[in-house]
Structure 1
Amino acid sequence: MIKLLKKYKAFLIGSIIMIPIFYVLDYLGLILLPKERSLEIAFYAIFWGFIVALPFYHFKKNRITVIKILTLFSLFFVTLLVDSYMDLPDNPITFILLMGFWFGLAYLLMSTFIIKYWKLITFIYVPLILYFLYLRLFTGDLEAYLKIKEDIPFYMFFLPIPILFLIWVFEQWKWLQNLKAEKAKTELSLLRSQINPHFFFNTLNNLYALTVKNSDRAPDVILKLSDMMRYTIYEGEKETVKLADEIGYLNNYIELHKIRYKKSVEITFDYASVNTHIAIAPLLYIILLENAFKHGVETLSENAFIHINLYDDEDIIYFEIENNFDDKESDKTNGIGLKNLKRRLSLLYKEKHNLSIITTTNLYKTILKISKHA
């Protein structure tokens, strides 16, 4: 809170000093404060305090902006002096100077919006300004103008302001949504890049051992590894892939792991009951499979198994994976992989997924449900 006050102290000071300035201007007759309406005066003081504080807040950041703001305030006070000196109701000169002040201030505060919608603003305000000047200058003397004014709803001159404000609010909301989308996209890209490269290094070491032995299995390992790297690099960047491609990737991963182990490992992968043409985000299941090998097979010297079942119904795609592990050897921390997966699922499928983990004495089962209609 203290840091926030220090950062924006210029606005706080501006709001405080505007109250006595208001009363001085009221005493001099340059403005007319509403009597016995302290809350309204406080509101005006806060608003003008923020405006006055802008030069001081931006002074170290952008001196050109400060000069522009000070110029606008000079224009505003000149307008007050002209209006006080001429003492004319709805003085056209005052009106034009005030319009120049407000449009200039709006341009400084939200230049992008003004530049984008300048045609709309011109279309609204130029006819209104011309209409006012026509009524004020070309419909007779002052008494005739004041009589006409009584029959004309002058709020029409202020009606475009809330409309333009709502457009500006919508623009800010749209900008914020785009910013969130870009942030999510960047984060997804980063999460994809965190797919564990350790597996590839291990496979390359195994491949080296096979080539040294002139094993007939070396070409097959090279082909599978090449397919996996291509999939990770190219298909992994896509928003969705066919389930058939993801299944092929998982099968290659399993086959390459089988080459590593001299011990017997029972691995089953049943995907006969799934529609392989379904589109799904890539590289989701691989993290669960990696965990089954790392925290299951790696901890057991014998009787290790991994059972995988992939199927679907009308609404949901189910991925179930179960493995055993040595309770004494297994690393019970979730690790970055599972955190990565949970974050990706929350970004991609939001409320349309469910990840559940069931752990018993030496069995670990994960069930991932993803809606087809996400």
Structure 2
Amino acid sequence: MRSQINPHFLFNSLNVIFALALEKKENTTKAIVQLSDILRYVIYDSNTEKVSLKNEIILLKNYFEFQKFRHQNSDQIKFMYNIANDDFLIYPMLLLPLVENSFKHGVKGDIENTFINLNITQDDDKFHFLIENNYTENGSDEDKEYSGLGIENIENNLKIVYPKSHFFEITKTETKFMVSLKLFANEN
């Protein structure tokens, strides 16, 4: 489950930084720091059985901020959270693949109606992660060939890491793809 960040993300990220540097944008150094923080967390800090929700939120915030450099219409990318206990523990790198998936597949679709909404709540022993993005049936043959593998891996790993203490649901309409993940810590 301790999946590595998608290699395409790394190559695309380097291209973003390269483009920012060519244009001599002021945000170049900020983008480099954010990418560095993401990679440091993925490589070093997540190498443990559980991590605090606070650290996972920081990772996701860095990821969202970095992605905004790549997308023109960043006001349609929203990340909200309401956390009662920053020290709530979850399995590391559980959430990033779901967020990465939203950016990879959602932003590729209908450019005019692109959106990503992430909402995380945690109270008592309950955790809820809800992400939604725009969706179209259009996609490359490569996307269709590998579509669903990441989700399938997450589902299988949830059964191992959170047996009988999770809820995972995918909802797909003509225009929206939504993933809901709930963890119940007291049952684990």
Q: Compute the TM-score of the two structures, normalised by the length of structure 2.
A: 0.88
User: Secondary structure, in 3 states, of the residue corresponding to 2:24?
Assistant: coil
Structure 2 distance, partners of 1:270, 1:293, is 16
1:356 equivalent to 2:169? Answer yes
1:320 equivalent to 2:133? Answer no
Q: Flag the structure with higher helix content.
A: 1
Q: Flag the structure with higher strand content.
A: 2
Count of equivalent residues:
184
Which of 83, 86, 90 is equivalent to 1:276? 86
Structure 2 distance, partners of 1:236, 1:273, is 20
The structure that has the greater radius of gyration is: 1
**Superposition map of 1:56-135 within 5 A:** none
Q: CA deviation at 1:272?
A: 2.3
Which of 77, 98, 117 is equivalent to 1:288? 98
> For residue 341 of structure 1, what is the aligned residue in structure 2?
154
Q: Is the 8 A contact 1:264 1:304 kept in 2?
A: no
- Unpaired runs of at least 5, structure 2: none
Which of 244, 248, 260 is equivalent to 2:70? 260
Structure 2 distance, partners of 1:217, 1:233, is 24
Q: CA deviation at 1:264?
A: 5.0
Structure 1 distance, partners of 2:66, 2:74, is 14
Which of 109, 113, 118 is equivalent to 1:299? 109
> For residue 208 of structure 1, what is the aligned residue in structure 2?
18
Q: CA deviation at 1:229?
A: 0.7
Q: Is the 8 A contact 2:170 2:177 kept in 1?
A: yes
Structure 1 distance, partners of 2:62, 2:33, is 9
Letter in 1 for 2:59: Y
1:370 equivalent to 2:183? Answer yes
Structure 1 residues 339 and 195 mapped into 2: Cα distance closer, same or farther (>3 Å)?
A: farther
CA offsets 1:241-271 (integer angstroms, 9 cap, x no match): 1111101111111111111123455112111
Q: CA deviation at 1:273?
A: 4.3
Structure 2 distance, partners of 1:267, 1:210, is 20
Letter in 1 for 2:184: S
User: Secondary structure, in 3 states, of the residue corresponding to 2:129?
Assistant: strand
Q: CA deviation at 1:194?
A: 4.0
User: Secondary structure, in 3 states, of the residue corresponding to 1:328?
Assistant: coil
Q: CA deviation at 1:313?
A: 3.3
**Superposition map of 1:148-187 within 5 A:** none
Letter in 2 for 1:366: V
Structure 2 distance, partners of 1:372, 1:266, is 32
Letter in 2 for 1:279: L
Q: CA deviation at 1:357?
A: 0.8
Q: Compute the TM-score of the two structures, normalised by the length of structure 1.
A: 0.46
Q: CA deviation at 1:336?
A: 2.6
Highest RCO, 1 vs 2 (Cα 8 Å, sep ≥ 6): 2
User: Secondary structure, in 3 states, of the residue corresponding to 2:2?
Assistant: helix
Structure 2 distance, partners of 1:280, 1:307, is 21
User: Secondary structure, in 3 states, of the residue corresponding to 1:347?
Assistant: helix
User: Secondary structure, in 3 states, of the residue corresponding to 1:327?
Assistant: coil
Letter in 1 for 2:158: L
User: Secondary structure, in 3 states, of the residue corresponding to 1:271?
Assistant: strand
Cα RMSD between the aligned structures?
1.9
Q: CA deviation at 1:347?
A: 1.9
Structure 1 residues 264 and 317 mapped into 2: Cα distance closer, same or farther (>3 Å)?
A: closer
Q: CA deviation at 1:274?
A: 4.0
After the TM superposition, list the runs of 4 or more consecutive aligned residues in structure 1 that deviate by more than 6 angstroms.
none
